[in-house]
Amino acid sequence: MAKVKESNFEKPVPVADDEEQATGNTQFAPPSVVIAGLRSDAASARVRQTRSGLLPSLSLSGGWLSRNFNTQAQGLSFPGIPKIIGPFDAYDGRVRVTQTLFDFANMGRVSAAKSQASAAGADRSAAIEASAQNVALAYARASRAQAVVNARQADSALAAELVGLAVAQQQAAKRLRRMRGVHVRPRAPGAAVYQAVLSRDR
């Protein structure tokens, strides 16, 4: 009994989502590449299936029969030969080998199947290139977003330092006025921060 090989199409193929593709945390191919690969495999299988019509064919058959033989039914009537012969066993074994020499119709089908397989392979290559471009673009966008986040964090840290500097300047001004005994109207923290930013830019 021949064993039928389990088809790959019956097994679920793991794929990667957009987030995994963008971050690179995946070992699986994107869905478009997987589908293109399955189509290419199916086209290659159709080529082999079509080409099977040109391969040699071998068949074996056998039989066994136990029977009686009536000599008179066969027109045999001789002295000393019994009317019924048997029962006896009859065995029959046959081997048949065929080979197609020329089949232009099948050759045309094979050529068409090869063309379809080549087209499926080209579609697979195009899908791989498109997926690579999408992954590169997604990675660039993720890098840019991370750079923006880092810049915003740096701006927030700088603003906190400026606020601390402004508060320190106000406290120093208050201590100086107390030492001199001069009453001066204190400036708002926002103005101090603005002056600190201006002095930093200069």
Looking at per-residue pLDDT, the higher value among 98 and 27 belongs to: 98
State residue 195's pLDDT score.
56
Q: How far apart are CA 191 and CA 167, in angstroms?
A: 11
Per DSSP, what are the bridge partners of residue 90?
Answer: 65
Q: What secondary structure does DSSP assign to the chain, as a single string?
A: -PPPPPPGGGSPPP---HHHHHHT--SS--HHHHHHHHHHHHHHHHHHHHHGGGS-EEEEEEEEEEEEEETTTTT---TT--SEEEEEEEEEEEEEEE-----HHHHHHHHHHHHHHHHHHHHHHHHHHHHHHHHHHHHHHHHHHHHHHHHHHHHHHHHHHHHHHHHHHHHHHHHHHHHHT---PPPPHHHHHHHHHHHHH-
Residue type, 132: A
Lowest mean pLDDT: which of 9-23, 99-113, 166-180? 9-23
Task: Choose the most confident range, by mean pLDDT, from 16-20, 75-79, 128-132.
Answer: 128-132
Q: Which residue has the higher pLDDT, 64 or 178?
A: 64
Averaged pLDDT for residues 50-76: 83
Mean pLDDT of the chain: 76
Does 2 score more than 50 pLDDT?
no
Residue 145's pLDDT is 92
Cross-strand pairs, 59: 96
Domain ranges within the chain, ordered by starting residue: 57-98, 155-201
The dihedral sign for the CA sequence 151, 152, 155, 160: negative
Q: Please report where in the chains the tokens 């500097």 appear, as a residue.
A: 165
Q: For the residues 23-38, what does the mean pLDDT come to?
A: 72
